Amino acid sequence: MTTASPPRPAIRIAHLNHWYGEGDLRRLVLRDLSLSVERGKTTFLMGPSGCGKTTLLTLVGALRSVMDGSVQVLGRELSGADETALVETRRRAGFIFQHHNLHRSLTVLQNVRMGLEVKGEAGKRDAIDRCLEVLSAVGLADHVHKYQDQISGGQKQRAAVARALVGKPELLLADEPTAALDSKTGREVIELVQRLAAERGMTVLMVTHDNRILDIADRIVEIEDGRILSEAPPKADAIPHPERLPTVWTRV
Amino acid sequence: MLRARTPLGWLQLTHSKSRFIVASAGVGFAVLLVFMQLGFMNMLFDSTTVIHQQFKTDLVIMSADAEGIVPDSGSFSRRRLIQAAGVPGVADWAEVYIGTLNWTKPSDGTLGAVVVFGVPTDVRVFANSALDAQMPLLRTSGTMLIDEGSRGDYRAFFARIAAGEQPQVKLAGETVTAIGTFNFGSSFGTEAYGVVSRETFLQLDRSRHPGVINMGLVTVTPGVDLASMADAVSKAIGATEVKVWTMPDFMEVTRDFLRVNSPIATIFTFGVLVGLFVGAVIVVQILTSDVQDHLGEYATFKAMGFKNRYLLGIVYEQSAILTVFGFLPALLLSILLYRLVGAAVAMDMNMTWSRVGWVFALTVGMCLAAGTIAVRRIYSADPAEVF
């Protein structure tokens, strides 16, 4: 009888150091950080502003070059990777930004279609159907031909979610996707992300300050001063409550 | 099949219709400048050979240093023409006297100058059959034909002639009767042309010896090779004071002389370069501003996995769009302005396909160069900064 080997993690980070500036101005933002993120799980990165969580997200998203240490994403080592490898890794991930970052000259549908175009799938016969399907899933079926200035903040963020998900990424990276939304809309968007991620077996790594959505995470990683302070499943009392106030992470 | 690539350049440019119109108008303005400069330059070059085309001849004998058919193109002995007449293959010949004579303008009574051709009336000299038909009328001494393309308001004067009147004009101090009109089309340097008989010319220009002419026209028998005939006539004359040309060759000599020996080509070429520079600056400004406006969106695209090459393609697509949308209206407007200017100065200002092609190629080059300058900003779009 053989024992099944544990599944390879989606993200494996070992002894990661990252800094900005040079010489006397050099500032270390990630210090000997190691982390492993399971496939198909939703992990929240939390911590005070400037703690390095967004830098970590950009390194995992192959948006920066790894300076020291190892970052493996979806089986590919990003340390020493060339531009082509970085771009290929980006194409396997979906990104949701703090501000929706929709293209203002494109309609909602055209914006979402860009998520397929980057993978060379926009010319396929079912491309529009796939866009409409995901737009329907995020509740924007009636707004597909509108421009970003014709829809609400929540709808913009839903459109950004649709753009990130339409290409069926293996990894979803999100940076404070609820920051510009009210609590109700923010929660709706995150629940939507979580539901679609679960349906598609995606790994989600999300930076957030928002204590109201902690219950949605499978795991919460706290970072402080470039190091991991703690990592654990969300506590039972993390279930959101209307009266709950932001805690330490929002006190900047 | 669905389009694989979103036409982002087009969508970005046309998202704001007013900005797109202004941008296209900017490019169009530069193209218009270029068209007008080339139009003026070629009108000037063409105008120097308009007069060549009025003569019905195969060969032309001119003074050796002549660069065109103008009064100061030099003179030579009529005997040279008679020598040419003896060459086998020569069918006919005619001498032409050319002079600039003072006249009292029939338009407003002021003094002016008219270039007068004195020609034999018993030989076909002019290509224009309407003009040729009037040649017998010039056998009456003291009569002349006047160019309808003369600069100035001659409408009333020509109307009188058209009505059958024969008004008199003061030409070289003599009273001459205007018995008809013709149309050469004027040039930059000449405000009016007149045609008189050889005899009338010699009466008007009393300093002119009848044996000294300005131009010899030679018609050869059909089927004879013109270039070899020009050589044969030249050898028969055997004098270095004259040269024998085919008319097309002489027209080319005239154009080349103007192109090489006058600053005209340099001035207008500089004008074209200024137009292209202005256009390039406008396009760089438009594209750079557009790239700057969309830098965040470009950074987002980079984060999504689009390569720089894709984003550069957007800028070059915009260059191509501005080329077309600037060029086409400018072309139409140029054609209209060519007609208006041509009518105003009584000269032909024609648009040619080769000019359209050249200016389009220059516009493409201008927009591509501008695009190449503008795309540099795309490299500064940092995908990590969108977080």
Residue pLDDT, tens place only, B278-289: 888 988 888 898
B158 and B26 in a common domain: no
B121 and B230 in a common domain: yes
Q: Which two tokens stand for residue A75?
A: 């089986």
Q: What is the pLDDT of residue A24?
A: 84
The reply to whether residue A64 touches residue B384, judged by beta carbons under 8 angstroms, is yes
For residues A11-27, average pLDDT: 92
Q: What is the pLDDT of residue B65?
A: 80
Rounded Cα distance between B350 and B46, Å, is: 10
Residue pLDDT, tens place only, B61-84: 999 887 777 767 788 999 999 999
Q: What does the buried/exposed string (b/e) look like for A8-36 if buried means 16 or more CB atoms within 10 Å of the residue's CB? A: ebbbbbeebebbeeeeeeeeebbbebebe
B113 and B81 in a common domain: yes
| Structural domains of chain B, count | 2
Sequence spans of domains, chain A: 39-66+82-240
The larger pLDDT score, comparing residue A68 to residue A137, is at: A68
In a domain, B80, yes or no: yes
Residue A233 has pLDDT above 90, yes or no: no
Q: How many other CB atoms are there within 10 angstroms of residue B65's CB atom?
A: 10
Chain B interface, best mutation among A73, A84, A101, by max B CB count within 10 A? A101
For residues A21-28, average pLDDT: 88
The larger pLDDT score, comparing residue A1 to residue B3, is at: B3
Residue B243 has pLDDT above 70, yes or no: yes
Residue of A nearest to B2 (CA): A123
Torsion of CA B197, B203, B207, B212, to 10 degrees: 30
- Cβ-contact B57, B248 below 8 angstroms: no
- What are A's interface residues with B at a Cβ cutoff of 8 A? 54, 57-58, 61, 63-64, 87-88, 90-91, 95, 97-98, 101, 103-106, 110, 113-115, 117-120, 122-125, 127-128, 163, 175
B329 and B290 in a common domain: yes
Residue A105 has its nearest CB partner, among B11, B305, B383, at B11
Rounded Cα distance between A158 and B373, Å, is: 37
Q: Which two tokens stand for residue B62?
A: 């001119």
Residue B387 has its nearest CB partner, among A58, A110, A117, at A58
- Which H or E run contains B218? strand B215-220
Query: Is B306 in CB contact (< 8 Å) with chain A?
Result: yes
How much is the ipTM here? 0.86
The larger pLDDT score, comparing residue B74 to residue A113, is at: A113
- Which H or E run contains B66? none
B181 and B107 in a common domain: yes
CATH topology of domain A39-66+82-240: Rossmann fold (3.40.50)
Q: What is the pLDDT of residue A235?
A: 62
Residue pLDDT, tens place only, A175-204: 988 877 777 777 887 888 888 888 888 999
**Crossing angle of the two packed helices B308-345 and B17-50, in degrees rounded to 10:** 40
Residue B136 has pLDDT above 80, yes or no: yes
Residue A245 has pLDDT above 50, yes or no: no
Task: Say what percent of chain A tops pLDDT 70.
Answer: 90
Residue B1 has its nearest CB partner, among A63, A91, A123, at A123
In a domain, B54, yes or no: no
Query: What are the chain B neighbours of A76 within 8 Å (beta carbons)?
Result: none
Residue pLDDT, tens place only, B292-346: 888 889 999 999 999 989 999 999 999 999 999 999 999 999 999 999 998 887 7
Residue A63 has its nearest CB partner, among B301, B303, B306, at B303
Residue pLDDT, tens place only, B44-62: 888 788 888 899 999 999 9
In a domain, B127, yes or no: yes
B231 and B292 in a common domain: no
B109 and B24 in a common domain: no
Rounded Cα distance between A171 and A166, Å, is: 12
Q: Which of A33-42, A119-128, B55-64, B352-361 has the lowest mean pLDDT?
A: A119-128
For residues B124-148, average pLDDT: 93
Q: Which two tokens stand for residue B251?
A: 């027209």
The reply to whether residue A105 touches residue B12, judged by beta carbons under 8 angstroms, is yes
The larger pLDDT score, comparing residue A238 to residue B102, is at: B102
Residue of B nearest to A93 (CA): B304
> What mean pLDDT is reported for chain B?
89
B267 and B222 in a common domain: no
B382 and B329 in a common domain: yes
In a domain, B109, yes or no: yes
A67 CA: distance to closest CA in chain B (Å): 15
B171 and B217 in a common domain: yes
Q: Which residues span the domain enclosing B200?
A: 65-239
Q: What is the pLDDT of residue B51?
A: 86
Residue A236 has pLDDT above 80, yes or no: no
Residue of B nearest to A122 (CA): B4
B198 and B137 in a common domain: yes
In a domain, B248, yes or no: no
3-class secondary-structure state, position A245 = coil
The reply to whether residue A97 touches residue B5, judged by beta carbons under 8 angstroms, is no
Q: What is the pLDDT of residue B189?
A: 66
Query: Is B347 in CB contact (< 8 Å) with chain A?
Result: no
Give A241's pLDDT tier (boundaries 50, 70, 90): very low
Rounded Cα distance between B160 and B208, Å, is: 32
In a domain, B155, yes or no: yes
Residue A58 has its nearest CB partner, among B4, B8, B384, at B384
In a domain, B19, yes or no: yes
φ and ψ at B151, to 5 degrees? -75, 135
Q: Which of A137-146, A166-175, A231-240, B377-386 has the lowest mean pLDDT?
A: A231-240
Residue B231 has pLDDT above 90, yes or no: yes
Residue B354 has pLDDT above 50, yes or no: yes
Rounded Cα distance between A75 and A78, Å, is: 9
- Last residue in a domain, options B239, B271, B294: B239
B229 and B111 in a common domain: yes
In a domain, B205, yes or no: yes
Residue A240 has pLDDT above 60, yes or no: no
Residue A1 has pLDDT above 60, yes or no: no
Q: What is the pLDDT of residue A249?
A: 34
> What mean pLDDT is reported for chain A?
85
Residue pLDDT, tens place only, A51-70: 999 999 999 999 999 999 99
- In order of A23, B162, B175, B177, B202, the CA distances from B142 in angstroms are 100, 19, 7, 6, 11
Residue B3 has pLDDT above 70, yes or no: no
